[in-house]
Amino acid sequence: MAFKPVNSIVRSIEILKALADGSNRLTDICERLQLTKGSAHRLLKTLERSELVKQDPRSRLYCLGPLFIQIASRATIEHQFLITHSIHEMKRLRDFSKETVNLQIPVGTERLVIWEVQSLESLKYVGGKGAVYPIFVGSAGKALLAQLDADALEILLRKFYYVPSAPNPVKNPTTLMAEVRKAEKQGFAVSFGERIAGSASVSVAIKNYICPVALTVVGPFERFTSFGLKKVANEMKESSRRISEDIALAQINSKDPKGT
């Protein structure tokens, strides 16, 4: 019996390929796949429910979704070098702050949690390894954006969208850029309930790696701020310095193992 492919699956795969190639409008996808708008829309909505596709609520453009990014990234394996050189300081920060600590990297208009050391408290905020969030929301997003050069930042801000379901979202790129510049100046970024009501977070940059990295501490607003947000930020900057220096030294030693 001859194999007969399932048309809806084949068309869904072709849609994912189109999105990866930059065809983000419904009309572009229809033209490329020779589909009616109704058929393309139904397939896109099915993929969106599966988190393989996401639609920008403002521009209505489509892009690859959180699940696709998680599957494609294999972050734990690809960034094992970074994780290995960060884990000790992450545990130290967790014990110091009593809150959850994670590492995040940018993936297009999203940010991806590649490692997490969870708080030992019964009430805590966690994302989990592989969690994906908009890069335009939260302290980690600001810390990542602050590490981009002017051209890369300009390109990314053209794709800005705000998350209407978030309790306290940044609603325009001008406000976001002000927060990014503030983060650059003070050496850390903060967020208060931007993504999750009742939460607070602080993020700092880790340097000397192959891509921007944000080291983040997140927890309940009242407990986090009563402990001392600035106190946590200062400890995080010290951890960032140590991790960044460790990464740089390891890279030098890998090129010259004898240290000559």
Average pLDDT, the chain: 88
- Those residues whose C-beta lies under 8 Å from the C-beta of residue 39, and which sit 6 or more positions away, are 11
> Each residue of 107-164: pLDDT tens digit?
888 899 999 999 999 999 998 888 888 999 999 999 999 999 999 999 888 888 887 7
Give the contacts of 105 (CB within 8 A, at least 6 positions apart).
75, 79, 111, 112, 114, 144, 211, 212, 213, 214
CA pair distance 175, 109, nearest whole angstrom: 17
Give the tokens for residue 125: 């905020």
> Could you give the C-alpha distances from 13 to 28, 43, 53, 61, 215, in angstroms and in order?
15, 10, 11, 18, 35
Residue with tokens 């300081």: 89
| SS (HEC) of the chain | CCCCCCHHHHHHHHHHHHHHCCCCCHHHHHHHHCCCHHHHHHHHHHHHHCCCEEECCCCCCEEECHHHHHHHHCHHHHCHHHHHHHHHHHHHHHHHHCCEEEEEEEECCEEEEEEEECCCCCCCCCCCCCCEEECCCHHHHHHHHCCCCHHHHHHHHCCCCCCCCCCCCCCCHHHHHHHHHHHHHHCCEEEECCCCCCEEEEEEEECCCCCCEEEEEEEEHHHHHHHCHHHHHHHHHHHHHHHHHHHHHHHHHHHCCCCC
pLDDT digits (tens, 9 = 90+) for 35-77: 899 989 999 999 888 888 888 877 788 888 877 666 655 556 6
pLDDT in tens, 21-36: 677 789 888 988 888 9
pLDDT at 253: 77
- The lowest-confidence range among 22-26, 85-89, 90-94 is 22-26
Q: Among 18-22, 143-147, 218-222, 241-245, whose mean pLDDT is lowest? A: 18-22
Domains and CATH numbers, the chain: 7-64 (1.10.10.10), 74-255 (3.30.450.40)
CA gap 39, 200 in Å, rounded = 42
Match 């995040």 to its residue by tokens.
104
Given a contact cutoff of 8 angstroms between Cβ atoms, the answer to whether 98 and 117 are in contact is no
Beta-ladder partners of 132: 112
